[in-house]
Copies of this chain bind each other. A is one copy, B any other.
């Protein structure tokens, strides 16, 4: 079965199972080599990259749906997905399935609900589904060099902006670090999310003032320089800060 036949077959099934006009697109961020990356898929049908999104079943809640979509398209489970924006331009997806006529389920107008998650990608490999030929992490710095389908570049950019805004008042993304980490490693995470270099002294002072870190009686050994102190999270204060934000009135 070639990729077009496969898409037609999926369309027939989809009409029975899924709600029309609604899709979900998860933006899964990972952190690796001091850089952010995002999880993308490429279908057999067309050589553009896509977010691992999909449709919502008539018989499931939206929250269940996006988790199922992410699992089926990329093998990803156990992430905390947060809705961040809805993409509803009327012509946003009209060119992707241009080889098909209007009866194709996948070609209709979709309003897509954008979710993001921060994913500890350390030892887990994404698993692609049967309509894809690739499911991979792509570094944010490489995004300008690849072709992204529809408005998926805009969705990723908006997710990143949300992350930047969020990190200004909540200690997010710390699950991307190992259990014990140095302040320098934490600074790299902030720099990757904010997309800019930070002054080391200012950063150390501010981050300590948040009150979410616990200094351990251990150092990171093995480097050429003085062994830096290791930190972990003060679990209780961290959860509190996640719930209430960092500025209390």
Contacts and interface: CB of A to CB of B under 8 A. Distances in A.
Contact of A88 (B20, B61, B165): B61
Interface residues of A, number: 37
A53 B185 CA distance: 47
A9 B109 CA distance: 26
Interface in A1-45: 19-22
Interface in A201-249: 203, 206, 244-249
The 8 closest A-B pairs by CB, nearest first: A62-B88, A169-B169, A168-B245, A168-B247, A19-B21, A61-B89, A61-B90, A86-B113
A58 interface: yes
A99 B111 CA distance: 30
Copies in the complex: 2
Interface in A65-112: 65, 83, 85-90, 109, 111
* Residue of A58, A90, A167, A194 with highest tally of chain B CB at under 10 A: A90
A245 B169 CA distance: 9
Interface string A160-173: 00000101110000
A168 B249 contact: yes
B89 A62 contact: yes
Contacts of A113: 86, 88, 111
A56 interface: yes
B21 A190 contact: no
